[in-house]
Amino acid sequence: MEPLSSTAKPAPRQQGRHAGLDRRRIAEAARTLEPQSLSIQAVADLLGVDRKAVNYHVTNLSGLLELVAVDAFSMNFADIDLSSISDWKLACRAYAFALHDSLVTTGALVSYFRFQDPGDLTMLGPADIVMQRLYEAGFTDEQVGNAIILIVNVAMSAARDDVMILGADGTHPQVPLILGALRDAYPRQFPGLQRAMAATPVRTPYGPAQLDASIDIVTRGLESILLSASARQR
């Protein structure tokens, strides 16, 4: 009979909810991995736990990517404080840029960003300040709701475009395709589009300048609503 080995067997990986995991620890571990290397198994290996322990908190890869995107966003957005801004137009602009810049930090995961945790108030504080300023300016409930949704949509769309540009040598991947189609397939059609696209080298259609122009259009539109309401009350 062979003697028992004196080498201790490795401790089994912890499983399920009793592994001492939470979403914060999972996000911290996943943050150290490249997006293309992210998987539930890779995170479990990094934490030294069974895959089921991670699955208890994150059910699939899509959920993991969403968690990492929200984590990257929150790390930057958590320090945003708009309370000192009293002008509603400046508050709208500051909120849009803060939202945009924080989303860009999620990089390739920007399309996975979702507001997940109702206990995380990171996103709500700055939005509440903007809404307070809009109410103080005289906007109605419906107008305030429409305005904040529009600002969020503009900022998120701009962030997705800018992330694509960062990953494509500074050029939006759709611009060369459109320019090529106009030049080769439709050289005498779409005069408005031809003129606008011809100006692209002079006026970059993405980046901070575009976001600034977009928010300017939003705030001017909102201001016209206030002026119209004021004129009707006279």
User: Do residues 105 and 158 both lie within one domain?
Assistant: yes
User: Do residues 50 and 95 both lie within one domain?
Assistant: no
Number of structural domains in the chain? 2
Question: Is 187 among the domain residues?
Answer: no
Question: Is 145 among the domain residues?
Answer: yes
- What DSSP element (H or E) covers 65? helix 61-77
Domain that holds residue 121: 76-167+203-233
pLDDT at residue 5, as a whole number: 43
pLDDT at residue 202, as a whole number: 46
| CATH code, domain carrying 213 | 1.10.357
Instruction: Give per-10-residue mean pLDDT for the chain (234 aa).
Output: 43 52 90 88 93 91 90 88 96 96 89 70 86 97 96 92 68 63 69 72 66 95 90 74
Q: How far apart are CA 8 and CA 22, in angstroms?
A: 29
pLDDT at residue 8, as a whole number: 44
Sequence letter at residue 27? A
The structure tokens listed for 180 are 């090529």
> Could you tell me the CA-to-CA distances from 186 to 79, 174, 199, 201 in Å, in that order?
49, 16, 17, 20
Question: Is 103 among the domain residues?
Answer: yes
User: Do residues 42 and 94 both lie within one domain?
Assistant: no
Question: Is 216 among the domain residues?
Answer: yes
User: Do residues 54 and 81 both lie within one domain?
Assistant: no
Question: Is 102 among the domain residues?
Answer: yes
Centre a 10 Å sphere on the Cβ of residue 101 and count the other Cβ atoms it contains: 17
Centre a 10 Å sphere on the Cβ of residue 136 and count the other Cβ atoms it contains: 12
Helix (H, G, I), strand (E, B) or coil at 222: helix
Question: Is 191 among the domain residues?
Answer: no
pLDDT at residue 175, as a whole number: 62
pLDDT at residue 136, as a whole number: 97
Question: Is 198 among the domain residues?
Answer: no
